[in-house]
Structure 1
Amino acid sequence: MSSPAQIPQLTFRAVLLAVILAVVLSAANAYLGLFAGLTIATAIPAAVVSMGVLRLLGGGTILENNIVQTGASAGSSIAAGVIFTIPALLILGYWQDFKYSWVLAIAGLGGLLGVLFSVPLRRSMIVEDPLPFPEGKAAAEVLKAGENPGPGLKILGLSAGIGGLVKLAAESGLRMIPDNAAGAGFFGKYLGYMGTGLSPALLGVGYIVGLNIGIVVVSGSILAYNIAIPLYHAFFLAGDPEVAAQVAGKTAAEAAAIIRAERIRYLGVGAMLIGGIWTLFSLRKSLLSGIRSGIAAARKGAGANLAETERDLPMKWMLVALVLFILPLLALYQAIVGSWGVSVPMTIIMIVAGFLFVSVSAYLAGLVGSSNNPVSGITIATILFASVVLMLLLGSDSKIGAVAAIMIGAVVCCAAAVGGDNLQDLKAGYLVGATPWKQQLMLGIGAFSCALIMAPVLNLLHQAYGIGDPTREGSLQAPQATLMASVAQGMFGGKLPWDMIAAGAVIGAIVIAIDSALKARGSHFRVPVLAAAIGIYLPLELMVPIFLGGLLAYFVERRHGVVGADESLRDRVHRPGVLFSAGLITGEALMGIAIAIPIVVSERADVLALPERFHFGQAVGLAVLAIVGWLIYRTGVRAPHAPRA
């Protein structure tokens, strides 16, 4: 049997394909995250594409395919780190657009620090005291079963085409079908509203996250739209002259949008804030264990005579790289605050928080997977801690304090997102016999490649659609970045509806209590507070199709007889449906970016619109969504039948 040293791994074609996929998938995830508040893991779709492309080029080894999925998975981690934080600088009014060099420095150097900080964790978390790393195991299984990638590629290609065509036909493109189907009305003093988005990508997101999360997020939106907004309109609007003046004379749908934007969405901010703090507190033992593992592993260093499958990046070169990466960030912080007495502590906070939270992120990714990793909670904790220190250095009324806290949080968020993802990839590599240092190098290349295109993509999306503007039709909501901006702004005397944030924190505490009771009973159904908070914060139209996608996943499980079965068995059943869903998401996201180009160039939102006689109503849009849902279901039930649990 060939050793890993003899099997091609870090080949030119594998690196090139990984970089291309990383860039494409990071752009798609940036759009999806700003639009729906969620990103998707990209390792498995990338592995399937890699197996197909390398087969066309004469055949690829399992280790080459592993390198491709390792680099490509940086697309989701860098996109998440960027969109969770950097748009906050726009929302705070510090930037009018995204500065290329600054975004590159924050995302690129933050991502590379995430790689460096995670290297010493591999031995302790994967080899000596192995954690499950569920997504790493799933990726390894796909790589091992890669003899016939053709069907998977067909599924991805077909669904990406469908997702792209529906997006082209929608409101921002040809305007043949609307983006949403909704209805609203006044019922005496009360205001009623119900609607759904018509996005195939959101159905795909729902299929991937499953019914449990789908129920939780749509319940949060129903709480906001069908309880909070009607109650506020009936009993509190008269005492709020600022919002009452905006609502006067508006239709029911317009009034609901204004009340949500100005007041009710802050319930979600409060719930996310208490949820992030609670998540870190409830996992405090796991966090401490992850930190201890990281420190212990860093002290051990690397042995002199290690097998190829045990060789990490050399520690001495990592320390040199760490210094080289930190210096530009120190200069960046100095440019913001103009004081070495402040920029040096900012850099120290970033280094310490970066290493600690990369350890935390890696540990949690090992337990619950990268998709469930509470990176936003980690970032909130970083911003709160940084704000307290900066308040002591700059004063509580500092105009630059909130921006400085966001800058620290952005680097830590990128590092933590990459760190958790890195360990998933290293787990997959460990299971297929890859060389760790080659994977670590590939992830660094992939992360920096994604950072190179983040600012242009964000600027394009901002000019075409708007980012974080709840009053603009079709604006990308950027929920996590808005939360980060609210937290930082609130710490430095910003004007926020603290009564609504406090009420949201109470709602979050109630959700936590319900979830704790379900956990104590051993229930399979859980109510994660951050998912509920996202549901409260985001528009109902986004959450309804996510719920419907989760319902489709449940029906597929029922058809295969695996409801309540082992997770690995359900994952195998869902793999074709997950690939179809990933294709829908990628196709729609890439078409959204493509449509933005003529909109920006022409400075006309309707530049692609067909004549009005070709504009169809909500019924056609609902029919299209139903057809896409049926295709997802048929793809899932036609999968090879799984053995019954």
Structure 2
Amino acid sequence: MNQPSSPRQLTLRAVVLSIILAVVLAAANTYLGLFAGLTIATAIPAAVMSMGVLRVLGGGTILENNIVQTGASAGSSIAAGVIFTIPALIILGHWQTFEYSWVLAIAGLGGLLGVLFSVPLRRSMIVEEPLPFPEGKAAAEVLKAGENPGPGLKILGIAAVIGGFVKLAAQSGLRLIPDTAAASGFFGKYLGYMGTNLSPALLGVGYIVGLNVGIVVLSGAVISWHIAIPAYHAMFAATDPALAGIGAEDAAWTIWSTQIRYLGVGAMLIGGIWTLFTLRNSLLSGIRSGIAAARQSRDTVIADTERDLPMKWMLVALVIFVIPLALLYQAVVQSWGVSIPMTIIMIVAGFVFVSVSAYLAGLVGSSNNPVSGITIATILFASLVLMLLLGKDSPIGAVAAIMIGAVVCCAAAVGGDNLQDLKAGYLVGATPWKQQLMLMIGAFSCALIMAPVLNLLAEAYGIGAPTPDRPDSLAAPQATLMASVARGMFGGDLPWTMIWIGAGIGAVIIAFDEFLKARKSNFRVPVLAAAIGIYLPLELMVPIFLGGLLSWLVERRHGVDPHDEEARDRVHRPGTLFAAGLITGEALMGIAIAVPIVVSENPSVLAMDGRWNVGEIGGLIVLAIVAAWIYRVAAKRSS
């Protein structure tokens, strides 16, 4: 039987445009990540750019634009996977420069494995048990608005201008408003800290994920910042030399970075295992259905929207991609008795943490996905096994653990991103296998340029702690953390007490969520969402919660039944469009700001005179205005 023709998707011009955007956005994100410790999601900016370019070339279909944003989104995920881990090899002194073939193997093969591992997850996380995937939903709204211009495009455009302007005015741009507003102080032995990020994009993420997830992630942050940090300060301030003579805010961040964030690592470890266990039937179902689809006759009609990459070719590709990594590990440790277990660890941890990463991306979006926490968990697990094989004092043990963590980090970043793209494709009627193939092309294209970009930045600035010769060295905060964790496992110290306490907290949260499930409560407490809140800074969780609160207020205004998904989506469509615009505008402006910073080699190149800075109060007023604007648009348009 012949299938009905579908709109153009995987065209040559879409592939070429996607590769160009992916490479450019990967380079920009590499600098920003090493400099500021964060990357900017590139799927939505790529979708906007694609619509503009293809319109000039004679117009593109919504599915063609979706293919472009799918491949280009690899720019941020490959950049994140690389900069969170590979610079640790420089910091550990194992490398003096970034070796091209090694970086290509780690980033390229890790990214390809991330796509392969995430293919069976599509049915379970998008079709059978749909997660929000806020950025995927936002990308779909952007694509729909571009396909059908009108009021939706106007909402999107206004919001994008607002998000872009606020980003330009923030610390990385004109420095008219700060990135955060915070207050701290000592109350006897109690250390108090409260802060919020002033990013409109985080408000948008919160609006899309809703109040339930907003409450859970904020509750996790409260555990860290309002319970654990004050308790640690009260008990150990007098004996911890790192806390001597510093202010309340510096003390809070020191305690969080050296001790309390490891609670989140422990919670993430137990939460990842539990999530994989609870998804086991869906994952097996996805694998079985993929194998069944591959066995079906060519004459059998399968809807384009249900066609994944064939399972048999995935298994062949998995073997082909793993062999070079096994050879790479052999070159590091010079022992097949160690390199083969390293490869097995990489495969097992890769699949487990791609699943965890995809689930987390489904909850809070790729931009807020704590891939660094997932990588720490991988390095801890790999180090425990390597200690048995190499010994605790092995000089190569830390490097071997980083090598495993780097591949898994790239796979996890790309895997979460792939599910986000597939969610957008599911909402606009795309063909999954074409998206999966495009992401593989985009990921490998980005891997080709990572080593030259890293070497360029290392030569211009330096990487790691500042030195007299490199006073403005790029801090690479995540890679520095990975190096300290790996070094701590082989001859150093790690806060194991915090990791075990975090695992216990995760177990309690799982038990509470199961209790709510048994009572058929509408409110749930997903453990990984709570672990995100524990692991990430409080200031990121506050605007996500506020955005979720706005979403709930809109539902209350219109009396929406929380069980009626269709009614909820209809009511939230204008607000979701506005939220998508905020994310789009901030991401586009963030990348635009990176260009003069890289060209001038001056992070303050756009900064205005300090007297124009309106301070934290001004920043809070701006955020309040944006929040009121979201509510007004959602409430007015919905009616």
TM-score range, shorter chain: 0.7 to 0.9
Q: Is the 8 A contact 2:42 2:72 kept in 1?
A: no
Alignment partner, residue 497 of structure 2: 499
**What are structure 1's unaligned runs of at least 5 residues?**
none
Rounded to whole Å, the distance in 2 between the matches of 1:78 and 1:592 is 18
State how far apart, in whole Å, the 1-side matches of 2:64 and 2:12 are.
10
Tell me the equivalent position of 2:615.
Answer: 617
Which AA in structure 2 matches 1:547? F
Moved more, 619-628 or 348-357: 348-357
> Given residue 583 of structure 1, which amino acid in structure 2 is its aligned partner?
G
Identity of aligned residues (%): 70
CA distance in 2: counterparts of 1:104 and 1:564, whole angstroms = 47
Name the counterpart of 1:543: 541
Amino acid of the structure 2 residue aligned with 1:247: A
**Cα separation, partners in 2 of 1:428 and 1:173, compared to 1, 3 Å:** closer
Which deviates the most, 275-284 or 217-226? 275-284
Q: How far apart are the structure 1 equivalents of 2:117 and 2:382?
A: 20
Alignment of 1:63-142 (within 5 A): 63-74=63-74, 78=78, 81-82=81-82, 86=86, 101-116=101-116, 121=120, 125=123, 131=128, 133=130
Kept in 2: contact 1:26–1:75 (CA 8 A)? yes
Question: Matches of 1:184 and 1:424 in 2, distance apart?
Answer: 37
Question: How far apart, CA to CA, are the structure 2 residues paired with 1:334 and 1:306?
Answer: 45
Residue 185 of structure 1 aligns to a residue whose secondary structure is strand
Cα gap change, 1:208 to 1:476, in 2 (>3 Å): farther
**CA distance in structure 2 between the aligned counterparts of 1:568 and 1:484, rounded to whole angstroms:** 44
- What TM-score do you get using the length of structure 1 for normalisation? 0.78
Deviation (angstroms), 1:237: 1.7
Find the counterpart in structure 2 of residue 397 from structure 1: 393
Residue deviations 1:355-408 (CA, integer Å, cap 9, x gap): 6776x5799699989869998887677555544443333223323324323433
TM-superposition CA deviations, 1:294-344 (whole Å, max 9, x none) = 6x559x556454558577767887677556544543443234334444334
Who is 1:441 aligned against?
A: 437
Equivalent runs, 1:133-282 vs 2, <5 Å: 133=130, 147-238=147-238, 240-243=239-242, 246-248=243-245, 250-282=246-278
Residues in 1 aligned to 2:69 and 2:335: alpha-carbon distance in whole angstroms: 42
SS in 2 for 1:564: coil
> For residue 580 of structure 1, what is the amino acid of its counterpart?
F
Q: Aligned pair in 2 of structure 1 residues 199, 132: CA closer, same or farther (>3 Å)?
A: closer
Conserved in 2, the CA contact under 8 Å of 1:177 and 1:615? yes
In 2 relative to 1, CA 242–142 (structure 1 residues): closer, same or farther, beyond 3 Å? closer
Counterpart contact for 2:115–2:439, Cα < 8 Å: yes
Q: Secondary structure at the match of 1:194?
A: strand
What does the per-residue CA deviation read over 1:444-493, in whole Å, with 9 as the maximum and x for residues that have no partner? Answer: 22322344466678889999998999xx99999977x7886676555545
1:531 matched to which residue of 2?
529
The farther-off stretch of 267-276 and 424-433 is: 424-433
Contact 1:85 1:484 in 2 (8 A): yes
- Corresponding residue number in structure 2 for 1:577: 575
Letter in 1 for 2:200: P
Gap change, CA 1:242 and 1:94, over 3 Å in 2: farther
Cα drift, residue 161 of structure 1: 3.2
Amino acid at match of 2:530: A
Asked whether the equivalents of residues 361 and 417 of structure 1 are also in contact (C-alpha less than 8 Å), the reply is: no
Tell me by how many angstroms 1:495 deviates.
1.0
Q: C-alpha separation between the residues in 2 aligned to 1:473 and 1:541? A: 26
Q: Paired residues, what number?
A: 626
Q: In the aligned structure 2, how far is the partner of 1:418 from the partner of 1:160? A: 26
**In structure 1, C-alpha distance between the alignment counterparts of 2:464 and 2:346, rounded to whole Å:** 26
Q: 1:274/1:425 Cα in 2 relative to 1: closer, same or farther (>3 Å)?
A: closer
* Kept after mapping to 2: 8 A contact 1:279/1:374: no
Which residue identity is paired with 2:220?
Answer: G
Contact 1:166/1:200 (CA < 8 Å) preserved in 2? yes
Q: For residues 58 and 569 of structure 1, do their structure 2 counterparts lie closer, same or farther at Cα, with a shift above 3 Å needed?
A: farther
Comparing 626-635 with 366-375, which one deviates more in the overlay?
366-375
Contact 2:561 2:567 in 1 (8 A): no
* Aligned partner letter, 1:280: L
Distance of 1:457 and 1:205 partners within structure 2: 30
Report the CA distance shift for 1:487/1:566 in structure 2 as closer, same or farther (over 3 A): farther
- Contact kept? 1:4, 1:309, Cα under 8 Å: no
Check the 8 A contact 1:302/1:312 in 2, yes or no: no
Match of 2:172, SS? coil
Which amino acid letter does the alignment assign opposite residue 160 of structure 2? A
Give the equivalent residue in structure 1 for 2:8. Answer: 8
Matches within 5 A, 1:55-70: 57-70=57-70
Instruction: Indicate the larger mover: 452-461 or 70-79.
Output: 452-461
Please tell me the residue identity of whatever aligns with 2:333: V
- Please say if residues 280 and 377 of structure 1, whose CA atoms lie closer than 8 Å, have aligned partners that are also in contact: no
Distance (whole Å) between structure 2 residues aligned to residue 41 and residue 601 of structure 1: 20
Q: 1:99 Cα shift?
A: 6.0
SS at match of 1:523: coil
Change (3 A) 1:190 1:98: farther
**Residues 419-443 of structure 1: CA deviation (Å, up to 9, x unaligned):** 5665776687689776665444323
Deviations 1:596-619 (CA, angstroms, capped at 9, x unpaired):
555566665544332232232222
Contact 2:62 2:147 in 1 (8 A): no
Equivalent AA in structure 2 for residue 398 of structure 1 = S
- Equivalent residue number for residue 350 of structure 1: 346
Contact 2:272–2:353 at 8 Å: present in 1 too? no
Following the alignment from structure 1 to structure 2, what is the Cα–Cα distance between the partners of residues 225 and 368?
A: 22
Report the RMSD for the aligned CA atoms in angstroms: 4.9
- The answer (yes or no) to whether the contact 1:573–1:640 under 8 Å persists in 2 is yes
Query: Quick one: distance in 1 between partners of 2:437 and 2:601?
Result: 41
> Distance in 1 between the 2:195 and 2:361 partners?
38
Alpha-carbon deviation of 1:42?
Answer: 4.0
**Residue 410 (str. 1) matches residue 420 (str. 2):** no
Aligned residue type for 1:636 = A
Whole-angstrom CA distance in 1 between matches of 2:557 and 2:498: 44
1:178 to 1:506, Cα distance in 2 relative to 1, 3 A: same
User: Where do 1:246-645 residues align within 5 Å?
Assistant: 246-248=243-245, 250-287=246-283, 289=285, 296=291, 301=295, 303-305=297-299, 322=318, 325-351=321-347, 354=350, 383=379, 386-415=382-411, 418=414, 422=418, 438-452=434-448, 488=486, 491-562=489-560, 564-596=562-594, 598-599=596-597, 605-641=603-639
After TM superposition, the structure 1 stretch with the greater mean CA deviation from structure 2, 328-337 or 544-553, is 328-337
The residue type equivalent to 1:131 in the other structure is: E
The letter for the 1-side match of 2:191 is L
TM-score, with structure 2 as normaliser? 0.78
Unaligned runs of 5+ residues in structure 2 are none
For residues 165 and 350 of structure 1, do their structure 2 counterparts lie closer, same or farther at Cα, with a shift above 3 Å needed? Answer: same
